[in-house]
Amino acid sequence: MNLLLPSSMCEFQRRFAERAAQQLHGDARVVALLLAGSAISDDMDEFSDLDFIVVCQEQALAEVLASKRQIAESLGTLVAAFSGEHVGEPQLLICLYAEPLLHVDLKFVDASALDRRVETPLVVWADAATTARLQQGTAQWPARDAEWFEERFWIWVHYGLSKVGRGELFEAIAMLNFLREQVVGPLLARSQQRDQRGVRRLERHFPAQRQALAATLAGHDHAAVVAAYRAHIALYLSLRAAAVPANRKLDGEALVQHFLDSLDQATTHG
């Protein structure tokens, strides 16, 4: 059996992938093994996960899903595994393997799922029907427009600032992280026509923004958290200026800025 694996795979990842491919090829219910994630762009390193898509015969999928943990155990030394209901993916099994430690996602689908893909996976091996199906249509990564961000940003900032005002700094810090993941990271990606993937590899792709991004981090301190929200707003406004949304919320922006100033004054007087 000829396997197609990324050249950037390190040796222990390759050993696991080859063993998994051989094991799953021997299961008559499985018609293809695909790789998603950084394997698609051949941009893996020793810290990369293996994101497998296990394509099954439609009539066998329920049976395979019922035994997905046993299948995972057959692929290597399984340390722990849980299914992906928390991300709306009950067909996903998230695994940690030993010798050495390796994070592996196993997503079990039938071929119809390939028609609704956000990216076109790498074919490790596949039958002719699955190969033909992948050649049909195109993948479309979800892309949010400037209006989507503007409609939400000031609401989210106010929510986080209200936690600052109440003294719930841990929650306010969590909201800073959320803003970076849901707004700033995707907007930076959008500025370079990259896929919007949260904060993935921002350091690599946007070195000029590293200092501005670092300013949105904060420790458990009122003044530091307020300053981080101010930095978030400044960074958002600079990104918004490059692609002005049609639904600019100038009144909301002014009100949220005023609320932030009041929290800043509370810090000064405190």
**Does residue 251 lie within any of the structural domains?**
yes
Range(s) of the domain holding residue 23: 11-134
SS3 67: coil
**Cα 210 from Cα 213, distance rounded (Å):** 5
**Does residue 141 lie within any of the structural domains?**
no
Confidence tier at 2 by pLDDT (50, 70, 90): confident
Place of tokens 């941009």: 43
Q: Report pLDDT for 221.
A: 96
The number of folded domains in the chain is: 2
Confidence tier at 250 by pLDDT (50, 70, 90): confident
> Is 188 a residue whose pLDDT tops 60?
yes
Q: Do 221 and 110 reside in the same domain of the chain?
A: no
Mean pLDDT, the chain, integer: 93
> Is 78 a residue whose pLDDT tops 60?
yes
Name the domain boundary from 105, 134, 163: 134
> Is 268 a residue whose pLDDT tops 70?
no
Place of tokens 């490790």: 124
Confidence tier at 144 by pLDDT (50, 70, 90): very high
Q: Do 107 and 151 reside in the same domain of the chain?
A: no
Q: Do 35 and 87 reside in the same domain of the chain?
A: yes
Percent with pLDDT over 70 in the chain = 98
Q: Do 168 and 241 reside in the same domain of the chain?
A: yes
**Does residue 5 lie within any of the structural domains?**
no
What's the count of helices (H) and strands (E) in the chain, helices before strands? Answer: 11, 6
**Does residue 67 lie within any of the structural domains?**
yes
Label residues 204-230 b or e (16+ Cβ within 10 Å = b).
Answer: eebeebeebbeebebeeebeebbbbbb
Q: Do 184 and 130 reside in the same domain of the chain?
A: no
**Does residue 2 lie within any of the structural domains?**
no
**Cα 243 from Cα 240, distance rounded (Å):** 5
Q: Do 96 and 206 reside in the same domain of the chain?
A: no
Instruction: Kindly report the CATH number assigned to the domain that includes residue 199.
Output: 1.20.120.330
Q: Strand 50-56 vs strand 78-84: parallel, antiparallel, or unpaired?
A: unpaired
Q: Report pLDDT for 267.
A: 58
Q: Do 152 and 128 reside in the same domain of the chain?
A: no
> Is 228 a residue whose pLDDT tops 90?
yes
Q: Decide: pTM greater than 0.85.
A: yes
- Say if residue 107 is exposed, middle or buried (CB neighbours under 10 Å; 0-12, 13-18, 19+): buried
> Is 57 a residue whose pLDDT tops 90?
yes
Q: Do 16 and 89 reside in the same domain of the chain?
A: yes
**Does residue 49 lie within any of the structural domains?**
yes
**Does residue 140 lie within any of the structural domains?**
no
CB 81 within 8 A of CB 28: no
Q: Do 102 and 173 reside in the same domain of the chain?
A: no
**Does residue 139 lie within any of the structural domains?**
no
Q: Do 32 and 104 reside in the same domain of the chain?
A: yes
Confidence tier at 99 by pLDDT (50, 70, 90): confident
Q: What is the mean pLDDT of residues 188-205?
A: 89
Q: Do 129 and 165 reside in the same domain of the chain?
A: no
Query: Tens of pLDDT along 84-97?
Result: 998 889 999 999 99
Q: Do 117 and 196 reside in the same domain of the chain?
A: no
Instruction: Kindly report the CATH number assigned to the domain that includes residue 102.
Output: 3.30.460.10
Name the domain boundary from 134, 164, 194: 134
* Better-predicted residue by pLDDT, 103 or 250: 103
Name the domain boundary from 88, 104, 134: 134
Q: What is the mean pLDDT of residues 46-54?
A: 97
Question: Cis link prior to 100 (omega < 30° from 0)?
Answer: yes
